[in-house]
């Protein structure tokens, strides 16, 4: 498996992976306006160009995506066929090494809270609901 930065021509495939996984695992827990807000976020190609993105590839197959805005993880999705194989951890390690982050935040979906706990994140507040219908748990990872 190869972990590397996502190149601009690969962004549509990366956002498609995020959308497919979101629909299967997170979308059912969201109100329709939250699903629409998430889709609008990942469909904004200009905004996506400003993310720090990493992908996990096996040959030409994209297995996972991590995208961040500075020290804040915006997206972390792994193809369901490859869950529980350490891909999320490897993506997180590549992201941390590239930015030398000592503190990283995330607004975790309810589904992913345990994934982030396994990566060393801790909740900083109770679950939140944004005005656009996105449910999330604010979490932080701090280097020890």
Distance, CA of 33 to CA of 39 (rounded, Å): 10
Give the CA distances from residue 126 to residues 19, 23, 54, 74, 110, in Å, rounded to whole numbers and listed in that order.
Answer: 25, 24, 29, 19, 11
- Burial of residue 133, with CB atoms counted within 10 A of its CB: 0-12 exposed, 13-18 middle, 19 or more buried: middle
pTM of the model: 0.93
Domain that holds residue 24: 2-142
User: What tens digit of pLDDT does each residue of 96-140 get?
Assistant: 999 888 999 999 999 999 999 999 999 999 999 899 989 999 999
Domains of the chain: total: 1
Instruction: Report yes or no: 84 and 101 within 8 Å, Cβ to Cβ.
Output: no
Read off the pLDDT of each residue in 59-66 and give the average, rounded to a whole number: 94
Q: Please report, for the domain that includes residue 33, its CATH number.
A: 3.40.630.30
User: What tens digit of pLDDT does each residue of 1-52 get?
Assistant: 899 999 999 999 999 999 999 999 989 988 999 999 999 999 998 888 889 9
How wide is the angle at C-alpha 93 spanned by C-alphas 44 and 138, nearest 5°?
60
């Amino acid at each position: 498996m190869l972990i590397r930065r996502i190149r601009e021509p690969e962004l549509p495939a990366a956002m498609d992976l995020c959308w497919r996984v979101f629909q299967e695992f997170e979308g059912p827990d969201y109100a329709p306006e939250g699903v629409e807000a998430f889709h609008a976020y990942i469909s904004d190609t200009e905004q996506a160009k400003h993310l720090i993105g990493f992908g996990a590839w096996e040959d030409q197959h994209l297995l996972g995506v991590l995208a961040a805005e500075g020290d804040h993880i915006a997206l972390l999705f792994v193809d369901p066929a490859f869950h529980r194989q350490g891909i999320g951890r490897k993506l997180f390690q590549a992201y941390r090494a590239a930015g030398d982050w000592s503190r990283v935040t995330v607004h975790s979906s309810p589904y992913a809270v345990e994934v982030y706990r396994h990566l060393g994140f801790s909740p900083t507040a109770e679950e939140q609901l944004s005005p656009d219908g996105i449910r999330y748990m604010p979490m932080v990872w701090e280097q020890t």
